[in-house]
């Protein structure tokens, strides 16, 4: 990003001088990297936004209008829930498929909820609260069979879980740069399958077809107005490059192993409740990403988070995690949980340190209860 500011300080696509051309190359390289990562057939199908929330709003508002029907799940982040609730107040029909406490949706329930006017299914790829990975391929198949568009919120999976939008049959996929893509905050985007048309959220300068006073009708320009955050996109492109070099399958395997050690270790501590799926009744491992939520008996999540930070140097997030639907589903509303997030740089030593810290806190809570 520093090099980008020093060597490519022009406005990408807005001029023909060398700094503008270099800035445009930065954006192009980032777009190509993301397309390669998610299996997009053409990098022009990758539209950059400021974050996953903007991408989700672009997809939802770009598809739905009064009289249409949309299906979602009870595990969604507010970035999906709030736009849908607003559109429901404007005449869009909304069905929310409830899951059990494990947070995994039944694809059959999604299919059964479809109506003739169903236009969109919007679903998280993995819960930002408990990490449960949803069966997106099965839901995508049901959508294709009925001519319904399928939007996937991949904020929690892009970069740490294999994604192939073409093979999976995903029509729209939102992602953020600041999590497992190793990019800076303020970056994100939306994959748009060829043939899917969205109404733009914004209209304005694109650097292309400047002779027209109408928005261009081709991607990505149709959905990208205004000067892009090309410095942030330089960081996003570099982060995606690291992910591609490391290999998503390898990253997934390493993170999965650490997450299982963390979950199993927390479950073994007396007084700790861990939320999320166990292995299913057939002994198969339910897929999860490196997000672990727990509570400690007799201690508020906010207090747990404060002690972990101030006394052990462990940074976590507490509360409802912008996902009240999910917390109602798993039975932790309105208290919330303590959420630990593993990432690219997490180690086995980190997991051991956290388990030791929580173990000490649990022991202290038990002593306090006896007093």
Q: What is the CATH number of the domain that holds 72?
A: 3.40.640.10
The residue behind tokens 């904020």 is: 155
Could you say which of 193, 228, 246 is where a domain stops?
246
CA 345 to chain centre: 19
Judgement on whether residues 71 and 219 belong to the same structural domain of the protein: yes
Digit-coded pLDDT (tens) for 139-154: 999 999 999 999 999 9
344 vs 277, more confident: 344
Condensed to tens digits (0 to 9), the pLDDT of residues 214-259 reads 999 999 999 999 999 999 999 999 999 999 999 999 999 999 999 9
Contact 336, 319 (CB under 8 A): yes
Tokens of 199: 């109404």
Active site residues per annotation: 322
Question: How many residues make up the chain in this entry?
Answer: 371
Residues 50 and 127 in one domain: yes
341 with 253, same domain: the answer is yes
Q: Which has the minimum average pLDDT: 237-251, 292-306, 323-337, 356-370?
A: 356-370
| Structure confidence by residue, pLDDT tens digits, 70-80 | 999 999 999 99
Q: How confident is the model at residue 281 (pLDDT cuts 50, 70, 90)?
A: very low
Alpha carbon 170 to its chain centroid, in Å, reads 15
User: Among 41, 120, 53, which Cα is nearest to 88's?
Assistant: 120
289 and 349 in a single domain? The answer is yes
Residue located via tokens 């939320």: 275
Number of separate domains in the chain: 2
Same domain flag for 112 and 217: yes
What's the pLDDT score for residue 80?
A: 98
Strands 93-97 and 69-73, by their bridges, are parallel
Residue 25 has pLDDT above 60, yes or no: yes
In terms of residue numbers, what domain contains 208?
Answer: 2-246
Task: Give residue 359's Cα distance to chain centre.
Answer: 30
Residues 120 and 146 in one domain: yes
Say yes or no: 34 and 156 in one domain.
yes
The pLDDT score that the predictor gives to residue 138 is 98
Peptide bond into 220 cis (omega under 30): yes
3-state secondary structure the chain: CHHHHHHCCCCCCCCCCHHHHHHHHHHHHHHHHHHHHHCCCCHHHEEEECCHHHHHHHHHHHHCCCCCEEEEECCCCHHHHHHHHHHHHCCCEEEEECCCCCCCCCHHHHHHCCCCCEEEEEEECECCCCCEECCHHHHHHHHHHHCCEEEEECCCCCCCCCCCHHHHCCCEEEEECCCCCCCCCCCEEEEECCCCCCCCCCCCCCCCCCCCCCCCCCCCHHHCCCCCCHHHHHHHHHHHHHHHHHCHHHHHHHHHHHHHHHHHHHHCCCCEEEECCCCCCCCCCCCECCEEEEEECCECHHHHHHHHHHHHCCCCEEECCCCHHHHHHHCCCCCCEEEEECCCCCCHHHHHHHHHHHHHHHHHHHHHHHC
To the nearest whole number, what is the mean pLDDT of the chain?
Answer: 95
**CATH number, domain containing residue 296:** 3.90.1150.10
Residues 189 and 78 placed together within one structural domain of the fold: yes
Residues 316, 293 share a domain: yes
> Where is the domain boundary, 246, 280, 304?
246
**Looking at residue 368, what is its pLDDT?**
82
Residue 371's pLDDT band (cuts 50, 70, 90): low
Clarify whether residues 239 and 266 are in a common domain.
no
Q: Which residues pair with 274 in a beta bridge?
A: 294
Using the predicted structure, report yes or no on whether residue 286 has a pLDDT greater than 80.
no
Residues 305 and 265 in one domain: yes
- What is the rounded CA–CA span in Å between residue 291 and residue 340? 6
Q: What is the pLDDT of residue 9?
A: 82
Q: How far apart are the first and last CA of the chain?
A: 55
- Cα separations (Å) of 3 from 7, 177, 235? 6, 19, 10
137 close to 125: Cβ distance less than 8 angstroms: no
The pLDDT confidence band at residue 6, using thresholds 50, 70 and 90, is confident
pLDDT in tens, 51-100: 999 999 999 999 999 999 999 999 999 999 999 999 999 999 999 999 99
pLDDT bucket at 271, cuts 50 / 70 / 90: very high
Amino acid 279: pLDDT: 57
- Nearest residue to 160 (alpha-carbon basis) of 179, 178, 173: 179
What pTM does this model have?
A: 0.96
Q: What are phi and psi of 90, to 5 degrees?
A: -100, 10
* Buried residues in 87-120 as b, exposed as e (16+ CB within 10 A): beeeebbbbbbebeebbbbbbeebbeebeeebbb
- The last residue of a domain, from among 228, 246, 264: 246
Ramachandran class of 319: left when φ > 0, alpha when ψ lies in -120 to 50, beta otherwise: left
- What is the pLDDT at residue 285? 64
């Amino acid at each position: 990003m520093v090099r980008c500011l020093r060597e490519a300080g022009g406005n990408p696509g807005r001029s023909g001088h060398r700094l503008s051309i270099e800035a445009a190359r930065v954006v192009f390289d980032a777009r190509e990297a993301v397309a390669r990562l998610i299996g997009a057939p053409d990098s022009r199908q990758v539209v950059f936004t400021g974050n996953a929330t903007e991408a989700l709003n672009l997809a939802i508002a770009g598809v739905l209008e009064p009289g249409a029907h949309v299906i979602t799940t009870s595990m969604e982040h507010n970035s999906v829930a709030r736009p849908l609730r607003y559109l429901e107040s404007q005449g869009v029909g909304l069905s929310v498929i409830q899951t059990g406490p494990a947070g995994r949706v039944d694809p059959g329930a999604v299919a059964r909820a479809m109506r003739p006017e169903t236009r969109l299914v919007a679903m998280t790829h993995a819960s930002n609260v408990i990490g449960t990975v949803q069966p997106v391929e099965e839901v995508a198949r049901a959508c294709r069979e009925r001519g319904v568009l399928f939007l996937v919120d991949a904020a929690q999976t892009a970069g740490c879980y294999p994604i192939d939008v073409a093979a999976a049959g995903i029509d729209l996929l939102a992602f953020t740069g600041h999590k497992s893509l190793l990019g800076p905050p303020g970056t994100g985007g939306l994959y748009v399958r060829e043939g899917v048309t969205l109404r733009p959220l914004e209209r304005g300068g694109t650097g292309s077809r400047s002779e027209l006073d109408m928005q261009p009708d081709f991607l990505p320009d149709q959905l990208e107005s205004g000067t892009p955050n090309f410095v942030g996109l330089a960081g996003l492109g570099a982060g995606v490059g690291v992910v591609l070099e490391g290999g998503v399958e390898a990253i997934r395997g390493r993170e999965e192993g650490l997450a299982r050690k963390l979950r199993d270790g927390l479950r073994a501590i007396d007084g700790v409740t861990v939320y999320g799926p166990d292995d299913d009744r057939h002994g198969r491992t339910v897929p999860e990403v490196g997000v672990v939520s727990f509570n400690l008996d007799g201690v508020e999540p906010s207090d747990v988070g404060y002690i972990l930070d101030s006394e052990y140097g462990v940074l976590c997030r507490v509360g409802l995690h912008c996902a009240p639907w999910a917390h109602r589903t798993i039975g932790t509303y309105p208290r919330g949980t303590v959420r630990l997030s593993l990432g690219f740089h997490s180690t086995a030593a980190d997991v051991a340190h956290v388990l030791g810290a929580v173990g000490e806190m649990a022991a202290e809570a038990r002593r306090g209860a006896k007093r």
